[in-house]
Amino acid sequence: MSDTMTVIKTENVKKIYSDNGLPVKAVNGIDLTINEKEFTAIVGPSGSGKTTFLNVISGLDKATEGKVWLNGKLISEMSGKELSDFRRDNIGFIFQAYNLIPVLTVEENIEYIMLLQNVPKEERHQRVMDILEDVGLKGFEDRKPPRLSGGQQQRVAIARAMVSKPVLILADEPTANLDSETGAELLDMMRELNQKHSMTFLFSTHDQMIMDRATRLVILKDGQVDEDRVKS
């Protein structure tokens, strides 16, 4: 894979589960390439394979068949510490449930990944301050998550995902627990950050607001790509 612009590449990826002894093809042979700086949404009805595919792309789940490359490395062959370290250094995750650590401050939540990466203290602090400004939470660094609104918590989660400068941000239904106004604000902010920092965003969603803002839609049906279109 000589093309350095390619962030994700999958080749005939399949994920088959057993349901009472019967095989269920959650993902059924997906070939997909995601390039640098894209703002792409993987969409489709419940059960179409969106979240499963996202989990396979990120190495959280292992494909039954096929190959997955992330940033030029074949992650479908990795396991254990090699995979978890590679995932930590290359992917930022945004979940619908925020997944913040309630006993840590906003700054401690955001810097956590950088601690694992052994980033020096001064640099960690500076990067946290910079990203808090980006997400509109300057001055909130000493607050703890229970004292934040849902929208503010998701902003912290976005800051945490981006601060370590991963090659890919994976967002699984990031607006699901937010009211539509807050969700729209956050999506507009993510689009601005995508353009400002040239970070690649990949969403799994059935939220129309995300589909409206995405520059590319990959529509799944029965575990396969039904349509793949770049919006003008």
Predicted TM-score (pTM) of the model is: 0.90
CATH number, residue 139: 3.40.50.300
Q: Considering the domain boundaries, does residue 168 fall inside one? A: yes
So what's the pLDDT on residue 97? 84
So what's the pLDDT on residue 203? 95
Higher pLDDT, 69 or 196: 69
Domain of residue 215: give its range. 6-230
Q: Mean pLDDT in the chain?
A: 92
Query: Phi then psi for 53, rounded to 5 degrees?
Result: -65, -40
pLDDT per residue over 144-180, tens digit each? Answer: 999 999 999 999 999 999 998 899 999 998 888 889 9
pLDDT > 60? residue 1: no
Q: Considering the domain boundaries, does residue 1 fall inside one? A: no
Q: Considering the domain boundaries, does residue 190 fall inside one? A: yes
pLDDT per residue over 3-62, tens digit each? Answer: 458 999 999 999 999 888 899 899 999 999 999 999 999 999 888 899 899 999 999 999
> How many domains, in total, are found in the chain?
1
